Amino acid sequence: MTMFDLSGRVAVVTGANTGLGQAIAVALAVAGASIVAVGRSAMDETEAAVRKAGARFHAISADLGSIEPVKAIVNEAVKTFGRLDILVNNAGIIRRADAIDFTEADWDAVMDVNLKSAFFLSQAAARHMIERGSGKIINIASLLSFQGGIRIPSYTASKSGLAGLTRLLACEWAARGVNVNAIAPGYFVTNNTTALREDADRSAAILARIPAGHWGNPDELGGAAVFLASPASDYVHGIVLPVDGGWLAR
């Protein structure tokens, strides 16, 4: 198990109060990492689960709708636990409307959180990681990094952009000891997919295409995050790893 051991490592996870971010934070904690949970909502539930796993926990309140807090997040993480080894850019939003009616506000809001903040937080973290010669950055992409989707133009643009950014950052930072990779979750049961799951027709159509036969449970994402955060992935750079119950294989 030493290849997947994160003892002594410090991980910043954005949007860790709920859903996939919470599941990733807990999985990294179980593997031994100290967790810095970043977001705009209370982190009590995540804190309880991380501490139950025997890991250290620190919360930072920040709104990633702007890049203003990114340097302070990295500084506070390093000040609190002495180092920063892993960054998970998980915070994300989605706005649904037909492309023909889509507003500039819905475009900007999604791009700001999903893409702009992910880039500038990665930059702030990498300045610290490159100085130490090691680090792991994991971007939470989407099936919309590969596919078009419908009624989510800014989401698809942001997640396709995040996949490209993952590859660019990997090319720039791989030789400097920093692994940059992404995970593309399939359809998981979280707040992000409430509208889809409440639409009986869309929900049934989605389920029918998932070879695994069920929507993803957030717990089913943790293993991929531990892999990309651990020494087991030291020679893995610039990939977008689907964790999708086989959706893309269909």
Active site residues: 155
- Residue 189 to residue 204: CA distance in whole angstroms: 14
- Cβ distance to ligand NAP smaller for residue 10 or 60: 60
- H or E element in which residue 69 lies: none
* Distance in Å, CB of 85 to ligand NAP, minimum: 21
Helix pair angle (222-229, 19-30), 10° resolution? 50
- Cβ distance to ligand NAP smaller for residue 11 or 235: 11
- Cβ distance to ligand NAP smaller for residue 25 or 31: 25
- Cβ distance to ligand NAP smaller for residue 143 or 232: 143
- Residue 99 to residue 219: CA distance in whole angstroms: 33
- Residue 174 to residue 186: CA distance in whole angstroms: 27
Q: Where are the beta strands (DSSP E) in 106-245?
A: 135-140, 178-185, 240-243
Residue 74, CA distances (Å) to 118, 201, 210, 250 in order: 13, 43, 38, 40
* Distance in Å, CB of 58 to ligand NAP, minimum: 16
* Contact indicator for 70, 121 with CB cutoff of 8 Å: yes
Site for ligand NAP, rule CB under 6 A: 15, 17-21, 39-41, 63-65, 90-93, 113, 140, 142, 185, 187-188, 190-193
Query: Cα-flanking dihedrals φ and ψ of residue 221, to 5°?
Result: -100, -20
* Distance in Å, CB of 123 to ligand NAP, minimum: 17
For residue 121, the one-letter residue type is: L
| Neighbouring residues of 6: CB distance < 8 A, sequence distance ≥ 6 | 28, 31, 32, 33, 85, 86, 226, 229, 230
- Cβ distance to ligand NAP smaller for residue 122 or 190: 190
